[in-house]
Structure 1
Amino acid sequence: MAETGASPDPVPSLDRVPSLGTGTSPDTGPSPAAASSPLARAEHFVWLTARVLEQRRFTYHFRDGGDRAADAVESALAAYATEDGGYGYGLEPDLRGPVSQPLHTGHALRVLDSIRRCGGQRLERVCRCLTSLSTSEGALPAIHPSQRGYPSAPFAPVVDDPPGELLSTGPVVGLLHRNEVWHAWLFRATDFCWAAVESLEKSHPYEVQAAVAFLDGAPDRPRAEAAADRLGRLVREQRLAALDPDDLAAYPVSPGYAPGEHHFAHDFARVPESLARAWFTDAEMERSLDFLAREQQEDGGWPVRWRQWAPTTALESRPIVTIEALRTLRAHGRSIG
Structure 2
Amino acid sequence: MNRLSEPHYKRAADWILEHGRELEKARMKQLIQGGHEQDIVTALSAFQNEDGGFGNGLEADIRMPHSSPIATSVAMQLLVELEDNPQADQMIHTALGYLENQFGRKRQGWYAVPPEVNQYPHAFWWTVHDDGMSWIDHHWGNPSAEIIGYLLRYRNAVTHLNVDHLVKQCMDYFMNLTAFESEHEIYCYQRLFNLHPDLLTQEASDQLQRAVQSLVVYDQEKWQNYVAFPLKFAAVPRHSQLGIPTSKIEENLQFITEQLENDPFIEPPWEWNDYMDSWGHAKTEWRGVLTFEALQWLLNYGKVAT
Using the size of structure 1 for normalisation, the TM-score is 0.75
Residue 241 of structure 1 is matched in structure 2 by 216
Query: Please, which of 64, 68, 71 is the counterpart of residue 104 of structure 1?
Result: 71
CA distance in 1, matches of 2:100, 2:155: 18
Q: Tell me how far 1:179 sits from its aligned partner.
A: 7.0
Q: 1:200 to 1:173 in 2, by over 3 A?
A: same
Q: How does 1:66-105 map to 2 (within 5 A)?
A: 66=35, 69-105=36-72
Amino acid at match of 2:235: R
- Larger RCO (CA under 8 A, 6+ residues apart): 2
Q: Does 1:231 align with 2:198?
A: no
Residue 54 of structure 1 is matched in structure 2 by 24
Q: Please say if residues 208 and 242 of structure 2, whose CA atoms lie closer than 8 Å, have aligned partners that are also in contact.
A: no
Q: Please say if residues 19 and 288 of structure 2, whose CA atoms lie closer than 8 Å, have aligned partners that are also in contact.
A: yes
Amino acid at match of 2:123: A
Residue 190 of structure 1 is matched in structure 2 by 167
Amino acid at match of 1:307: E
CA distance in 2, matches of 1:222, 1:207: 16
CA distance in 2, matches of 1:192, 1:156: 25
Q: Tell me how far 1:226 sits from its aligned partner.
A: 2.3
Residue 229 of structure 2 is matched in structure 1 by 264
CA distance in 1, matches of 2:45, 2:260: 30
Query: Please, which of 118, 121, 141 is the counterpart of residue 166 of structure 1?
Result: 141
CA distance in 2, matches of 1:280, 1:105: 30
- CA offset digits 1:89-147 (Å, max 9, x no partner): 11111111221101211111122234454763332211110012221143121222243
Q: Please say if residues 212 and 242 of structure 2, whose CA atoms lie closer than 8 Å, have aligned partners that are also in contact.
A: no
Q: 1:155 to 1:71 in 2, by over 3 A?
A: same
Root-mean-square deviation (CA), in Å?
Answer: 2.7
- CA offset digits 1:279-308 (Å, max 9, x no partner): 212222212222222222644111212334
CA distance in 2, matches of 1:42, 1:288: 18
Query: Please, which of 165, 176, 186 is the counterpart of residue 208 of structure 1?
Result: 186
CA distance in 1, matches of 2:246, 2:124: 38
Amino acid at match of 1:304: P
User: Structure 1: which 5+ runs fail to align?
Assistant: 1-32, 252-258
Using the size of structure 2 for normalisation, the TM-score is 0.82
Q: 1:187 to 1:125 in 2, by over 3 A?
A: farther
CA distance in 2, matches of 1:269, 1:177: 24
CA distance in 2, matches of 1:213, 1:57: 19
Q: 1:312 to 1:189 in 2, by over 3 A?
A: farther
Q: Tell me how far 1:87 sits from its aligned partner.
A: 0.9
Q: Please say if residues 171 and 213 of structure 1, whose CA atoms lie closer than 8 Å, have aligned partners that are also in contact.
A: yes
Amino acid at match of 1:132: N
Q: 1:113 to 1:120 in 2, by over 3 A?
A: closer
Q: Please say if residues 168 and 210 of structure 1, whose CA atoms lie closer than 8 Å, have aligned partners that are also in contact.
A: yes
Query: Please, which of 160, 165, 176 is the counterpart of residue 199 of structure 1?
Result: 176
Amino acid at match of 1:173: I
- CA offset digits 1:158-197 (Å, max 9, x no partner): 1464468311122333355567876254444433421332
Residue 327 of structure 1 is matched in structure 2 by 296
Q: Tell me how far 1:329 sits from its aligned partner.
A: 1.8
CA distance in 1, matches of 2:199, 2:156: 17
User: Structure 2: which 5+ runs fail to align?
Assistant: 274-278
CA distance in 2, matches of 1:84, 1:212: 28
Q: Tell me how far 1:320 sits from its aligned partner.
A: 0.8
Q: Tell me how far 1:232 sits from its aligned partner.
A: 1.7
Q: Please say if residues 326 and 336 of structure 1, whose CA atoms lie closer than 8 Å, have aligned partners that are also in contact.
A: no
Residue 37 of structure 1 is matched in structure 2 by 8
Q: Does 1:284 align with 2:259?
A: no
- The count of aligned residue pairs is 286
CA distance in 1, matches of 2:25, 2:90: 26
